[in-house]
Structure 1
């Protein structure tokens, strides 16, 4: 059973090796992560970008690139398009963001001719391995959708559930975060949380998906807090997915987990035809490795 990010790495090692196209690969932490992932037989890497810069960086950090495929495309937009095209033509299984702005990569992903656009909304999913929590915690969306509507939250939640199921979670427990548990006309998060809970009860998110909402953060992750406040729910203290009402909430929780709770993490964009590995430029090689492993596991599910 997968309970940690290391477990995801192990799962990725056990499955068939995936091909990863890296857009603008001229970044030291990206190259470190990709090299380690390839060494662990998780992926076969295709490095797209400025070949001279890639070679210089690899030499500086002691990576041998003889087993890598390198495609020399210095222009960032063209490199992003090529990475996406590799997937759309079946030459790669998923994509990773290198030293390139997210907007440039997403423009390529949404390209009508060679892109990976699907019917689903694109959304960001972070997976946290928190020392004080008993299993992995999926958080969405703290990176893309600013103030999602109820309709958009339905898409965001579907994407996160797909990611969670790819890691082997049989019964997915979702907490739709708000400041309190009672529905209030003055707090849209409570209204949306209640609506999503009703949709789940009607089977909208599929079997074995429990959605609680509205629910505060403490009740979602602490059974003790739920007992003290007499809040009864199978999701209380057992949440797999935290659905943030706005990007600020998701972003704030995520960074608090990283910088104040020593959580390790992995980041992915869901909603396209394949997962897109996307983490912050401030994230280290370890985070990028975990993100590659996560992307590999999801890509192997042919979602």
Structure 2
């Protein structure tokens, strides 16, 4: 999902994504398992990211189809390792196996369905689960907003409970901090209104999440909620409502009540506000680059850049912890 203007050929001034990609180019290239890249979009995304020095791809899927797509669309994959599998389901299972064998520090979705990939990732016995709930973050470049905006979760958890939302919030905060977006991100827990009411359960969960942060159950960010969307992102709207907090009016992470609300919000920003959106899945053993066929080439590169920065941040954190 990405604003169509991103590929329109119009001249654009440097954006948040350009700075993000530039930062990722300074990190070491990350070994990346690209799952079932059997069409032009997924193959070109991997090849472009490799050419930019972001990743070292390992292509997993039917070798003949991968080479055929590369030849048809004139994509150079001569320097990439190919692991042959008979079909997409086998490619997903093999990709997870390669991560367990330390052959890759990232996964990248190719031309298979998201559900196929995530079934292998979340498999209880052989998957990539951790003690965290797996969740998705849209990292959005909204031209009219000063900060890069995270929206979570708008792709995986349909109706998360309070414990699930705790993990969703913590995953997004960790991404923000470890990928170098800054420290102590401002996190808005969204609902339809900014007051707590028993008639709207998401307001109660928002208040509970803020109290969990007060008690150290969520760390690394500044939380406020419930906040309606307007007073989460507009300081004048927050002032009119009499809301005084470090988050209101300038949130950087927007935590939505459920997937349906989040998906609509992300798409509204993409098509009405001409925002670009990068996608990453967190909470598994490795970050997962999750893109859509509708994504622009620039948004795909940004998705990869976010995952590279996050993986590199985790690597450096592990080294520092061991020192």
Which bin holds the TM-score, normalised by the shorter protein?
Answer: over 0.9
- Segments of structure 1 that go 5 or more residues without pairing to the other structure are none
TM-score (norm 2): 0.89
CA distance in 1, matches of 2:298, 2:73: 15
Unmatched tracts of structure 2, length 5 or more = 1-14, 316-323
1:184 counterpart = 2:191: no
Shift of 1:112: 4.2
> 150, 153, 173: which one pairs with 2:186?
173
Please state whether the residue corresponding to 2:314 is helix, strand or coil.
Answer: coil
Q: How many residues align?
A: 300
**1:163 alignment partner, SS class:** helix
For the Cα contact (< 8 Å) 1:267–1:277, is it kept in 2? Answer: yes
Measure, in 2, the Cα distance between the counterparts of 1:287 and 1:118: 28
Q: CA deviation at 1:152?
A: 1.0
Please state whether the residue corresponding to 1:301 is helix, strand or coil. Answer: helix
Residue 234 (1) aligns with residue 246 (2) = yes
Q: For the residues of structure 2 that align with 1:287 and 1:141, how far apart are their CA atoms?
A: 18
**Residue aligned with 1:200, SS:** helix
1:194 to 191, 203, 207: 207
Q: Which residue does 2:150 correspond to in 1?
A: 138
- Distance in 1 of aligned mates of 2:129 and 2:258: 24
Residue 37 of structure 1 deviates from its aligned partner by: 0.7
**Displacement of 1:118 after TM fit?**
0.6
Identify the residue that residue 259 of structure 2 maps to in structure 1.
Answer: 247
Output the CA distance in 1 between the equivalents of 2:199 and 2:57.
50
Question: Counterpart of 1:31 in 2: which secondary structure?
Answer: helix
Q: For 1:75-96, what per-residue CA distance to the aligned partner results, in whole angstroms no more than 9, with x for missing partners?
A: 1111111111111111111101
* Residue 49 (str. 1) matches residue 65 (str. 2): no
Q: Distance in 2 between matches of 1:201 and 1:145?
A: 25
Structure 1 CA distance for aligned equivalents of residues 95 and 314 of structure 2: 18
Match of 1:117 in 2: 129
| Cα distance in structure 2, aligned partners of 1:113 and 1:154 | 24
Measure, in 2, the Cα distance between the counterparts of 1:28 and 1:78: 20
Counterpart residue number, 1:163: 175
TM-score by length of 1: 0.95
The 2-side partners of 1:60 and 1:20 are apart by 23
Q: Alpha-carbon deviation of 1:56?
A: 2.3
**Are the counterparts in 2 of residues 30 and 288 from structure 1 also a CA contact under 8 Å?**
no
* TM-align CA RMSD: 1.5
Q: Distance in 1 between matches of 2:281 and 2:106?
A: 11
Q: 1:291 — aligned with what?
A: 303
User: What SS is found at the alignment partner of 1:71?
Assistant: strand
Cα deviation digits, residues 186-214 of structure 1 (max 9, x gap): 1011101111111112222224x210000
- Structural mapping, 1:1-303, within 5 Å: 4-168=16-180, 169-207=182-220, 209-302=221-314
For residues 198 and 289 of structure 1, the distance between their equivalents in structure 2, rounded to whole angstroms, comes to 37
Shift of 1:133: 0.5
